[in-house]
């Protein structure tokens, strides 16, 4: 029986990892619901601890404990556990960071996270390298603290991001001290490169944040749409839009809005924020100048938000002074990180406008 299991494993080994990767990613989508939930953070913290412990065990090779405990079979098992934890961590980060930011502006950061997640499965042999294991762990700790600290502090912004970086520095220093205690000779051999590379990772993440490439985690955009009219209800809102033809099934609301002088157009936004986190977002109304071929900001309208509502904060902005042509509204944090973008064409009012529909939000 054991021999048959080994034969099956060898025969289908090339598809086991891809299936595990897709399955794990799908499981994460359904199990990781909200960034401020205790269960979600407990899963990520458990994987961080597991990854750190396995690195420490592998780092003990060459010591008295390592020679006694680390057989080849145990080393392979520990490496598998480590790679599994890294894969789970970065798939979780991909999910949270993708929900948070617009792909149009945040794609370099999200692609990097996705590449790390995939590499833990398809380039498993590279994770046997000691220094790479530690540097990926540094990146995982930093990626986690970036959203965990704002959730705990109930605030976000540049200073909170810097605080997240400092928390990472403290945790990594403690981790390096532990590695030094486990195997002083090996740590001294790699110390300079580890410290230099860790500083490089911290500087890179800060560069991505302050150039607004990093998604504005822990906020996440849940819904955004443009409307002809929005009415406040108790509770909720009632909004009017033009329905698209039945064959445009992927978008029920028309992106062509008919406007006449003196009337308003509305953009409605639904944003999730962790419990008790208070901040504000901006609706940046931009018009595309086809002559100059660039977007011109015409209005920046702030919206205050308070976290804690499961379905997210709901609010809207409106604009009267418009021009015919292509418009977009960027939903941004105060320091310019983009949560989402909605674009639409504004056309002269037509009495034969299509099917107007109301929906409750």
What is the SS3 string spanning 200-226?
A: HHHHHHHHHHHCCCCCCCCCEEEEEEE
Per DSSP bridges, beta strands 229-232 and 237-242 are antiparallel
pLDDT band at 4 (very low <50, low <70, confident <90, very high): low
| Contact in structure between 239 and 266 (CB atoms under 8 Å) | yes
The residues of the chain that CATH labels 2.60.40.1930 are 220-360
What is the reported pLDDT for 127?
43
Q: Largest alpha-carbon pair distance within the chain?
A: 86
Place of tokens 């009632």: 238
Residue keyed to tokens 């010591």:
63
Is pLDDT of 313 > 50? yes
- Model confidence at 11, in pLDDT bands (50, 70, 90)? low
Q: Would you place residue 126 in the very low, low, confident or very high pLDDT band (cuts 50, 70, 90)?
A: very low
Tell me how far apart the alpha carbons of residues 109 and 98 are, in angstroms, rounded to a whole number: 10
| Cα distances (angstroms) measured from residue 17 to each of 79, 117, 291 | 14, 12, 51
Helical axes 158-182 vs 38-59, angle rounded to 10°: 30
Q: What's the fold here for domain 220-360?
A: Immunoglobulin-like (2.60.40)
Helix axes 13-31, 38-59, angle to 10 degrees: 140
In this model, does residue 100 exceed pLDDT 50?
yes
Give the pLDDT band (50/70/90) at residue 327. Answer: very high
Contact of 134 with 63, CB cutoff 8 Å: no
Distance of alpha carbon 99 from alpha carbon 208, whole angstroms: 17
Hey, is 251 helix, strand or coil?
A: coil
Residue 63 buriedness (CB in 10 A; 0-12 / 13-18 / 19+)? middle
Are β-strands 313-319 and 229-232 bridged in parallel, bridged antiparallel, or unpaired? unpaired
Q: How many Å apart are CA 263 and CA 281, to the nearest integer?
A: 24
Q: What percent of the chain has pLDDT over 90?
A: 24
- Per-residue pLDDT averaged across 197-218, rounded? 86
pLDDT at 310: 62
Please give the mean pLDDT across all residues of the chain. 80
Residue predicted with more confidence, 261 or 120:
261
What is the rounded CA–CA span in Å between residue 135 and residue 194?
A: 7
pLDDT tens digits for range 164-179: 999 999 999 999 999 9
| Mean pLDDT, range 246-271, rounded to an integer | 86
Work out the average pLDDT over 99-118.
59
Which residues are CB-contacts of 29 (< 8 A; sequence separation ≥ 6)? 95
Q: How far is CA 93 from CA 90, 101, 199, 215, 245, in A?
A: 5, 12, 21, 11, 37
Give residue 344's pLDDT band: very low, low, confident or very high (50, 70, 90).
Answer: very high
Q: What is the pLDDT of residue 42?
A: 87
The contacts of residue 284 (CB under 8 Å, 6+ apart) are 297, 299, 300, 301, 329, 330, 331, 332
pLDDT category of residue 9 using cuts at 50, 70 and 90:
low
Q: Residue 260 CB: number of other CB atoms within 10 A?
A: 9
Please report the pLDDT score of residue 105 as a whole number: 54
237-to-232, 280, 283 alpha-carbon distances in Å: 5, 20, 18
Look at the alpha carbons of 164, 165, 166, 169 in this order and tell me if their dihedral is positive or negative. positive
Q: Report the Cα 138 to chain-centroid distance in Å.
A: 17
Strands 294-306 and 338-348: unpaired
């Amino acid at each position: 029986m054991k021999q048959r299991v080994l034969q099956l494993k060898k025969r289908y080994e090339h598809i086991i990892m891809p299936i595990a990767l897709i399955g794990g990613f799908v499981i994460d989508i359904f199990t990781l619901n909200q960034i401020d939930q205790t269960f979600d953070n407990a899963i990520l913290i458990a994987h961080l601890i597991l990854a750190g412990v396995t690195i420490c065990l592998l780092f003990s090779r060459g010591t008295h404990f390592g020679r006694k405990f680390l057989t080849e079979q145990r080393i392979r098992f520990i490496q598998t556990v480590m790679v599994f934890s890294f894969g789970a961590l970065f798939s979780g980060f991909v999910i949270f960071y993708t929900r948070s930011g617009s792909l149009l502006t945040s794609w370099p950061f999200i692609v990097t996270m996705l590449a790390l997640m995939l590499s833990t499965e398809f380039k498993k042999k590279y994770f046997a390298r000691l220094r790479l294991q530690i540097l990926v762990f540094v990146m995982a700790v930093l990626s986690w603290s970036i959203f965990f600290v704002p959730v705990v502090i109930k605030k976000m912004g540049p200073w909170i991001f810097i605080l997240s970086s400092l928390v990472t520095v403290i945790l990594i220093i403690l981790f390096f001290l532990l590695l030094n205690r486990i195997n002083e000779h090996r740590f001294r051999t790699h110390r300079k490169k580890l410290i230099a590379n860790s500083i490089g990772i911290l500087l890179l993440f800060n560069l991505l944040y302050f150039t607004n490439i990093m998604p504005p985690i822990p906020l996440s955009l849940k819904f955004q749409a443009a409307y002809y009219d929005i009415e406040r209800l108790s509770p909720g809102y009632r909004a009017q839009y033009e329905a698209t033809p039945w064959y445009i099934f992927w978008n029920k609301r028309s992106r062509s809005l008919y406007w006449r002088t003196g009337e308003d157009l509305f953009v409605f936004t639904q944003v999730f924020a962790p419990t008790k986190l208070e901040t504000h977002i901006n609706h940046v109304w931009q018009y595309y100048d086809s002559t100059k071929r660039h977007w011109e900001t015409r209005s920046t309208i702030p919206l205050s938000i308070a976290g804690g509502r499961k379905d997210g904060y709901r609010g809207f902005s409106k604009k009267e002074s418009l021009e015919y042509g292509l418009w977009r509204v960027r939903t941004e944090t105060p320091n310019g990180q983009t949560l989402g973008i909605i674009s639409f064409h504004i056309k002269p009012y037509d009495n034969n406008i299509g099917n107007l529909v109301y929906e409750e939000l």
